[in-house]
Amino acid sequence: MQRHFAQLNNGTGLWAIALKDSREIVGTIILIQLRDEKENLTQDYEIGWHLKKSAWGKGYATEAAKAILDYGFNTLKLPVIYAIARSENVRSLRVIQRLGMIPIGRTNRYYKMELEMFKLEAPKEQTHE
């Protein structure tokens, strides 16, 4: 199954975040290839999240992000995954921080705006040289 997903759109996508017990969908999580200024796909993969407001403050975004990072590193074998956020998006920046992502500065390269960029490298034992 995972191999099948990995063949579609280079394995990228948008997933629903559902609560384990009730199955209620509370948000979405993405792992997609970033597009450059000319809208061409790059080889840089971005993780992102969105929860409905009533689901904030419970750790769901962080838990979902960890699962998708695991998929990106272990199934897709990505060497690095990026996250980008507006500097005023404090809640998103806190998720990024909780995931242990490393700040690499501001960029104008994506989404036609200035954004803070972060990266997380694949755990060492899982990289294939």
Give the binding site for ligand COA (CB under 6 A): 48-51, 56-62, 85, 89, 91-92, 94-95
Q: Please state the closest distance from residue 92 (CB atom) to ligand COA, in A.
A: 4
State the nearest-atom distance from the C-beta of 112 to ligand COA, in Å: 14
Rounded to whole angstroms, the Cα distance separating 107 from 117 reads 7
Shortest Cβ 65–ligand COA spacing (Å)? 7
Cβ distance to ligand COA smaller for residue 6 or 55: 55
> Which CB, 117 or 122, lies closer to ligand COA?
117
CB of 4 to ligand COA, least distance (A): 28
Which residue, 58 or 77, has its beta carbon nearer to ligand COA? Answer: 58
Q: Which is nearer to ligand COA, 61 or 122 (CB)?
A: 61
Give the DSSP H/E element, type plus range, for residue 118.
strand 115-121
Q: What is the DSSP string of 61-111?
A: HHHHHHHHHHIIIIIS--SEEEEEE-TT-HHHHHHHHHTTPEEEEEESSST
Is-contact 82 44, C-beta < 8 A? yes
Separation between Cα atoms, residue 11 and residue 32, nearest integer Å: 9
Residue 124 has which token pair?
């060492």
